[in-house]
Amino acid sequence: MYTITTATIQDVETIRQLAEATWWPTYSPILEEEQIRFMLDLIYNAEGLERQITNSEQIFLLLKEGDKAVAFAGYSPYDGEAATYKLHKLYCLPETQGKGYGRVLIDTVSRIAADAGASKLLLNVNRYNKSLSFYQKMGFGIAREEDIAIGPYWMNDYIMQKPLIP
């Protein structure tokens, strides 16, 4: 049994812990240790997450098994395109992968976005990330490639999009 809640400032440390626990097994096969550490410190620092939540820059959903948070998603309306939302973050603890939680979070964000009038959902995924096939099964298609400079590193991503049904 699971529940989904909207994260608050009180959940920032939980999000940080989930990121630490999921990023290493996810990105170690494709990124250097120094890059993973740099990006975790940049993207998941407490002040940045607090700002994102307080200013509604991103809405975070926590998925819990009982009282334990095991997955999260971060999303927002996308400024770059009308009627579009962006899924910024989606991570499930490795021991829960295969339970359908990623699907549940994508479906939840898709429903919220469609209810708000969005016609598509975007996400970035590293071109070498094994989750690429998962996103394709979830109805996302590759729209284009994008190389993003983050500090001294490069993220080599696909921009994927999924049509939303109102």
Given a cut of 90, is residue 82 above it in pLDDT?
A: no
CATH number of the domain at 23, please: 3.40.630.30
pLDDT at 20: 97
CA atoms within 13 A on the CB side of 40: 21
Given a cut of 80, is residue 24 above it in pLDDT?
A: yes
Angle at 85 between CA 82 and CA 88, to 5 degrees: 140
pLDDT at 134: 97
Q: Amino acid identity of 56?
A: S
| Structure-model confidence comparison of residues 166 and 85, the more confident one | 85
Cα dihedral value 114, 120, 123, 127, nearest 10: 140
Given a cut of 80, is residue 37 above it in pLDDT?
A: yes
pLDDT above 70: percentage of residues in the chain: 100
pLDDT at 165: 86
Structure tokens at 22: 């999921």
pLDDT at 166: 73
pLDDT at 128: 95
Query: What is the number of structural domains in the chain?
Result: 1
Average pLDDT value over all residues in the chain:
96
Task: For residue 31, give its domain range.
Answer: 2-163
